[in-house]
Amino acid sequence: MGIPVLILGGTGTGKTTSLRNFEENEITVYNVASKPLPFKKKFPKTYQAPNYAKITKSMAKNGSKTYIIDDSQYLLAFELFDKVNVLGYEKFTQLAVNFKQLITFVSNELPSDAIVYFLHHTETNEYGMTKAKTIGKMLDEKITVEGLFTIVLQTKIEKGQYFFVTQNTGMSTCKSPMEMFELEIDNDLKFVDERIREYYELGGKKDESTKQLGQR
């Protein structure tokens, strides 16, 4: 049973930059929008413009412990563009089903020490709450995307510093297990990965420095 983790944030708030401390061969990256990295490092195990089938097929045989889907909301958006001439609401149902099935695949089919990070854009609803960006109402009204994840972190920028917020402060959907993180931590996904592995006893390395705050 793999662990899906949702990383939320607007564009330019540090989602992709949080990968900077991983070693080049340490992660597999699914670059949905085929964007250049915002730092000088290359990850050889990168798939450009993958669809759902390519992602699941790769994960099934890849053997990596850490996967990154960047940016996962484009899986929804690009599929909608591909079906722009399809009439009716059925296409929105299929969009929701495909995205949900990817999360289910991670949870049910991957090894227990595999972690998949969904780097995902946000939107603000009519009540002022920041949430995962979706298309159509099915994912929001019938499922709630964040409900399929135990760990949901959100980017934050304050005085030139980049953070992850780890708990719901009232107007977000952030959450994480008790005592896994402090309320705000550095936007370092390598640290997050190590901490999750330590918490769930997946063979992670304990980080005595406990990087809770910092600059990217």
The one-letter code for the residue type at 72 is S
Domains (range + CATH), the chain: 3-199 (3.40.50)
Give the pTM: 0.92
| pLDDT at 47 > cutoff 90 | yes
Give buried/exposed letters for 113-143 (b at 16+ CB in 10 A, else e). Answer: bbbbbbbbbbeeeeeeebbbbbbbebbbeeb
* pLDDT tens-digit series, residues 127-145: 888 999 998 788 888 888 9
